[in-house]
Structures are given as structure tokens and as C-alpha cells.
Amino acid sequence: MPKRAVVLLSGGVDSTTTLAIAKSQGFDCYALSFSYGQRHNIELVAARRVADAIGVVEHKIVEIDLRAFGGSALTADIAVPKDRYDVEAQHAAPLPSADIPVTYVPARNTIFLSFALAWAEVLGAQDIFLGVNALDYSGYPDCRPEYIAAFQQMADLATKAGVGGARLRIHTPLIQLTKAQIIRKGRELGVDFELTLSCYDPSPAGEPCGHCDACLLRAKGFAEAAAYHSPLPVAQ
């Protein structure tokens, strides 16, 4: 039986690096992307490019419409916040805010991981890879280690594989890496980041805005990756 893994793939820096890590660990990779009503739907073009370049057994794009609920700048007529980060400062952090940004899509990772669990069970895969990050990120609650641990416990209880003893493992190899470390890891694995797209508010032609959280975190990561070197933690 081949060693199979479902990899959530958005077409951005983090999910692309995660796919490359899974591939480097010897997994036959099945990429899973979502057309969920996001304003940056053009990211799926990048996801297809990445899946083709890195090489996957199959790439599914599942259509769900989270615009039915809205509640996010990515799925409703709400302005995408711009220039929240000071990218000129070394190791820049989010500007002080008590609020989770409006680019948070309610329950998105829970929905995506649930689909990944379902496909993994059908494939007979025991591994799911997710590119969440808890250091250089926008402050989303479903990117934290506590959330992943809780979802892992739920998966153990809620799936046929889990109750049968064939545990579905959720891998988050980037969760404790900075964006610069993620980029360095991707480069080590031969990732072509020119294929990726990170912007929350791209032009109709796919040009990044350069000012949203995703663009600024990306710029910060590439600048720091070029400026300094720090040890890479062992991937989970």
C-alpha cells in the first residue's frame, strides 16, 4: 500500500512549502483546494500551477459557498484591511489590535480539515498536511497549536479510521516557523515561489495589491530570508 497523504493547498507560500515537505517525506500526495466564494479565487490558478510543478497524484478543487454566511472580508462586501504591518522593522509583528482581523473566515480550517478527513478515509490515507503557522500570521484562532491538537482529538473520535485504530495524523510542519524560515525551507526543497500567490485582494489579472496582511507578511518573509539565517526547527 503506498504511503498516501492529503495536503491542503491554497497556492500560497505556506501550503506550497507544506506540499513540498510532504513530497520530500515520501508521500504520494493528493492535493485538496477549495473554491469557497473567496474574493481571491484566482489563488486556485496558483494552486493548479503548484500541484503540477511539485507533482501530485490527484488535485481536487471542491466547491463550497461560504458567501452564504459572509462575515469575512474574503467572502463578503467588506474592505480588506491594508497596511497593518510595519514591514520595515526587523522581525515586524502585527500592529497592536485586540480584534481578530476581518479577513478571518469563520470556521474555515475546521471546514477544510473535515473535507480532508473524508477524502483521507476514502483513499486509505493516514496523513493530512496543513500549512498553518502560529508565528508570522494574521492572528486567526484556527492556526494555533491548541486548535490543531483539539481537531486531532476530534478526528480520533469521529472517523472510522480513528475508532478502528488506524489513526489519521494531522501534520503541521510550519506551525512554529517564521515566514523567513518557511521560505528558506521551501527553497531547500526546490520550490519555485514565483508560482505562488498570497494576496487577499488581487487585481482581476492576478496582480497582488502589496498592502494586505498576506502581501506584507510575504514581503517581510522574503526580506528576512535574504537578510539573516536562523536554525530551522525539526518539522513535525
Sign, Cα dihedral of 84, 42, 13, 31: positive
Instruction: Please tell me the distance from the alpha carbon of residue 58 to that of residue 43, in angstroms, as a whole number.
Output: 18
Burial of 197 (0-12, 13-18, 19+ CB in 10 A): buried
Going from N- to C-terminal start, the domains of the chain cover 4-227
* CATH for the 4-227 domain, from 3.10.450.50, 2.60.120.260, 1.10.3720.10, 3.40.50.620: 3.40.50.620
pTM above 0.75, yes or no: yes
Q: What is the pLDDT of residues 109-160, one digit of tens each?
A: 999 999 999 999 999 999 999 999 988 777 889 999 999 999 999 999 998 8
Round to the nearest angstrom and report the end-to-end CA distance of the chain: 23
pLDDT beneath 70, residues of the chain: 1, 85-98, 228-236
How long is the chain? 236
